[in-house]
Homo-oligomer: A and B are copies of this chain.
Amino acid sequence: MRKKEGNKEVAILDSAIKVFAEYGYHKSKIYKIAELANVATGSVYVYYDDKEAILRKIFDQLWDRLYLQLKSVHENEHLTSIEKIDALIDILFDIFLENSALALVFVNEQFQLIQKAPEKFTDSYNKFLDLGEHIVQEGIDTKLFNPKIDVKIIRSFIFGGLRHLLHQWAHEPALYPLHTIRQNVKFITKNGLLK
């Protein structure tokens, strides 16, 4: 009996990220993904129900990782709210620095997927956002951040700003060193949040 190596499942996912990044979800062909993963077309369907399931899995994994990292930051009692916001930004930058194709997929496809069936979207995503919101609220409560701001709106604003920058960077990494982007984001964010 042949055993599932488990490698194929991962290989398919990695290939999918690359193919989705290059062509966009809709123009990505299953046979391209299979080809790049060195498996047969049909094998894709051994591990994933359909094309969308692959995309969904990509985001599941992504947000699981991001949430766990942010959670560990948040549970560190030695950090101020400011330092936690700093860490949040670092977490996002680091994961995409590691895999720029993933950044492209994230920016280009998450909206469409989440819009289709928000309730089916990975729970870690909402947990991540909630935690981010919580951190901002903590900053307000501890008089570090300006009470005038609406946490949900600011959360979205920062998130969107980061998303856009990461997209540009993923698309043209040479244009700006990531650390410069990072510094600027931290600067504007903090100075905007501090009283």
Contacts and interface: CB of A to CB of B under 8 A. Distances in A.
B153 A164 contact: no
A112 B157 CA distance: 21
A191 interface: yes
Interface stretch (A67-75, A77-85, A93-101, A142-150): A142-150
A162 B159 CA distance: 10
A160 B160 CA distance: 5
A150 B112 contact: no
A184 B153 contact: yes
Interface stretch (A6-14, A30-38, A52-60, A165-173): A165-173
A146 B192 CA distance: 12
Interface residues of A, number: 38
Interface string A90-125: 000000000000000001100110010000000000
A26 interface: yes
A171 B107 contact: no
Contacts of A161: 156-161, 164
Contacts of A108: 111-112, 115
Given A108-B111, A149-B187, A164 B168 contact: no
Contacts of A185: 153, 157
B165 A153 contact: yes
Contacts of A148: 187
A174 interface: no
A87 interface: no
A115 B160 contact: no
A39 interface: no
Closest 8 A-B residue pairs measured CB to CB? A160-B164, A192-B192, A161-B161, A157-B161, A188-B192, A26-B26, A153-B184, A160-B161
